[in-house]
Amino acid sequence: YRLSRGRRIVENAFGISSAVFRVLRRPMLLKPETAELVVMTTILLHNYLRTHSPNLYAPVGLLDNEMEGNLIEGSWRKEGDMTSMLPLINVPRRSTNYCSRIR
């Protein structure tokens, strides 16, 4: 549960940011230093807007919520083309029997 909650928080933060700052919706074809500046600037603007205009920037229903163990998706998920957000691949955490025998 805690891992899914952490993931939900990160998805909310990035989802809101990419809904507002459309530069985050697609891969950035920039030098890493320039891309870092763009991302840091969007974070700065995100924090400023959350502090100074919370009702306009993040109205009720924008964020994901959980009610009685059920996820209620926020309105940011209904935003259009999110091509830069690919589904995460589950990676097995246990080693194979072969690797265990070698150890």
SS (H, E, C) 10-26: HHHHHHHHHHHCHHHHC
Beta bridge partners of 71: 66
pTM beyond 0.75: the answer is: no
Would you say 64 and 71 are in contact if contact means Cβ atoms under 8 Å apart? Answer: yes
Q: Give the residue, 7 or 32, on which the prediction is more confident.
A: 32
Supply angle C-alpha 24, 71, 25, rounded to 5. Answer: 10
* Three-state secondary structure string covering 62-73: CCCEEECCEEEC
Please report, for the chain, the start and end positions of each structural domain, with discontinuous segments joined by +.
2-102
Cα 103 to Cα 63: distance, rounded to the nearest angstrom:
46
pLDDT tens per residue, range 29-65: 899 999 999 999 999 998 898 888 877 777 777 777 7
Q: Is the pLDDT of residue 78 over 70?
A: yes
Beta bridge partners of 65: 72
Please tell me the predicted confidence (pLDDT) of residue 37: 95
The alpha carbon dihedral of 40, 44, 45, 50 has a sign of positive
